[in-house]
Amino acid sequence: MGDTAQHMLSVGEKPSGESRKLTQYLAAAAASLGAVTAGTILAWTSPVLSQLKPPNNTAPLNISEVLTAVRENFTATETSNIYITEEQGSWIGSFLAIGALIFAIPIGMLAEAVGRKISILALVIPFLISWVLIIFANGVEMIYAARFFSGIATGGICVTAPMYIGEIAETSIRGALGSFFQLFLTIGILFANLIGGALTWRIFSVVCSIIPVIFAVAFFFVPETPQYLLKKNKLREAEKSLRWLRGPNFDISSEIEAMQKEVDNATQNKASLKDLVVSRANRNALICSLGLMFFQQFSGINAVIFYTVDIFKSAGSDLDPFIAAIIVTVVQVIFTIVSFLLIEKAGRRILLLQSCIAMGLSLLVIGIFFNFKDGGKDVSSIGWIPLTSMVVFIITFSLGFGPIPWMMMGELFSAECKGVASGIAVMLNWILVFVVTKFFPTMVLTLGKDITFWIFAGFMLAAVFFVYFVIPETKGKSSAQIQAQLAGK
């Protein structure tokens, strides 16, 4: 595979001595196809929960005539046969997070034991199990089980894919490749929103089940990371992997030598959980990564994604809520691409700062709108405000707090503790996903929509201080330089 692919990709190239970026982009894209599957899973609840609500307890869906006509073509001979309560709906959203947080640390250990590539490919199994359970579900319990398996796979891919991408990328494009994971995640969310409103939930799930198969086929043809192969004393295979990634005309000797030194150092200084706290560099890396994950989730992003349709319905906007969800997701994809283009030029800190400031202001405005609406004021003339504010929220999230916490997770940790530390960071992320998605509806009912969004805005204000005083700039720095910076050298 390696020799043939190398020959095919090198046709027409002239010796330049420069590394070839294309194969690195291809490998990162192949790994990130798992994020597309994760994106469809994350967004699945938005169009589906409305279909599962009992028709006698719920007002007719305000979907456009086009979507209704398309769906009727598929529902002529099918009925749901499964109806859920609001409480069951919140558990369907939350079982995903439970599965993800349980598997976050074990997948990191598995990646260290058998390799990044095998671990990533193994996640296709729970992805497929989850879709099969949903497709053939005859009760809400099977949907719970499906969401748990999808959580295992989604949590696993959130650990392993950024780890893989961080290890195959050269320093000059590490930030750009690191943003691939969030970009492909948003593409998956967009795909789900585009087709989810037009299809029945079973047929929608059948279509989604094709994506992990495509992912498995694409990722099968990329190499294991050179760092992992060096850890296993497979020097020749590591050289072959790096040559595939950098191209046949690039002198890999100095990079292999630097990698070998880093791996040797990691082997001599194997990190335990205690070392994550005792070592200043590891401790600071863990604080930075956990803090970024915390503020990413307490921006309310997953509440917005999981309940986009319900938010627009409750806002009373004239715009069809399913169309609004699609608009929001299209904006997210576009500006994640913009982040991909900016991240190596603007730097991490400035993008994070603009992100939390603008998100906080957007959440403040959304809260004010609902305060007026729920207070009995006529808001018919300003029904555009929730969509506009949500678009601004998604734009700035996509430029900063969307991709950067995942990317920096792969940058901040040293080689000897990356697997376990990444697992801890992802586990915290999914604990917070569970907390936010499970209790968002409860907060809305008990506190009101206005107070709920203002609480998220308050967390964004705190995030400004955290980023300014704690987060280091890692743009253009090697792993050794980042570790020295974290150690205060």
CA-CA distance, 260 to 227, in Å (whole number)? 8
CA-CA distance, 471 to 489, in Å (whole number)? 16
Residue 180 domain-assigned (yes or no)? yes
Segment 131-188, tens digit of pLDDT: 999 999 998 999 999 999 999 999 899 889 988 998 998 888 887 888 888 889 989 9
Secondary structure element (H or E) that encloses residue 259, with its range: helix 253-268
- The CATH number assigned to the domain holding 93 equals 1.20.1250.20
Question: Which burial class, exposed, middle or buried, applies to 4 when counting CB atoms under 10 A from its CB (0-12, 13-18, 19+)?
Answer: exposed
- Residue 483 and residue 283 in contact, taking contact as beta carbons nearer than 8 Å: no
Secondary structure element (H or E) that encloses residue 421, with its range: helix 418-447
Residue 337 domain-assigned (yes or no)? yes
CA-CA distance, 410 to 416, in Å (whole number)? 13
Secondary structure element (H or E) that encloses residue 368, with its range: helix 348-374
Give the per-residue pLDDT at 77.
Answer: 39
**Pick from 27, 29, 395, 402: nearest CA to 180:** 29
Helix, strand, coil in percent for the chain, rounding step 5: 80, 0, 20
Residue 227 domain-assigned (yes or no)? no
Q: Which amino acid is at 472?
A: P
Query: Which of the four pLDDT bands, split at 50, 70 and 90, describes residue 380?
Result: confident
Whole-angstrom CA distances from 300 to 201, 247, 304, 400 are 25, 42, 6, 14
Average pLDDT of the segment spanning 376-384? 80
| Percent of the chain clearing pLDDT 70 (strictly above) | 85
Of residues 446 and 388, the one with the higher pLDDT is 446
Other beta carbons within 10 angstroms of residue 3's beta carbon come to 9
CA-CA distance, 210 to 451, in Å (whole number)? 41
Which span out of 26-35, 177-186, 256-265 was modeled with the highest average pLDDT? 26-35
Decide if pLDDT at 305 tops 70: no
Whole-angstrom CA distances from 84 to 48, 97, 136, 373 are 11, 19, 16, 28
What is the chain's mean pLDDT, rounded? 83
Decide if pLDDT at 121 tops 90: yes
CA-CA distance, 155 to 130, in Å (whole number)? 13
Residue 60 domain-assigned (yes or no)? yes
**DSSP secondary structure, 143-194, as one string:** HHHHHHHHHHHHHHHHHHHHHHHHHHS-GGGHHHHHTHHHHHHHHHHHHHHH
Decide if pLDDT at 127 tops 90: yes
Decide if pLDDT at 285 tops 50: yes
Query: Which of the four pLDDT bands, split at 50, 70 and 90, describes residue 11?
Result: very low
Residue 13 domain-assigned (yes or no)? no
CA-CA distance, 76 to 433, in Å (whole number)? 37
Decide if pLDDT at 270 tops 80: no
Residue 284 domain-assigned (yes or no)? yes
Whole-angstrom CA distances from 2 to 10, 111, 254, 408 are 12, 22, 21, 30
Residue 230 domain-assigned (yes or no)? no
Of residues 403 and 136, the one with the higher pLDDT is 136
Backbone angles phi, psi at 179, to 5 degrees: -80, -10
Segment 48-104, tens digit of pLDDT: 877 887 765 444 444 444 444 444 444 433 445 788 887 788 788 778 888 988 888
| Percent of the chain clearing pLDDT 90 (strictly above) | 37
Decide if pLDDT at 344 tops 50: yes
The token pair at 140 is 């809400």
Give the total number of structural domains in the chain.
1
CA-CA distance, 244 to 178, in Å (whole number)? 19
Low-confidence winner among 36-40, 311-315, 319-323, 415-419 (lowest mean pLDDT): 311-315
Containing structural domain, residue 52: 20-222+269-486
Query: Which of the four pLDDT bands, split at 50, 70 and 90, describes residue 361?
Result: very high
- Residue 366 and residue 390 in contact, taking contact as beta carbons nearer than 8 Å: yes
Whole-angstrom CA distances from 339 to 27, 95, 225, 228 are 20, 31, 25, 29
Residue 1 domain-assigned (yes or no)? no
Give ∠ CA 99-149-83 in degrees, rounded to 5: 100
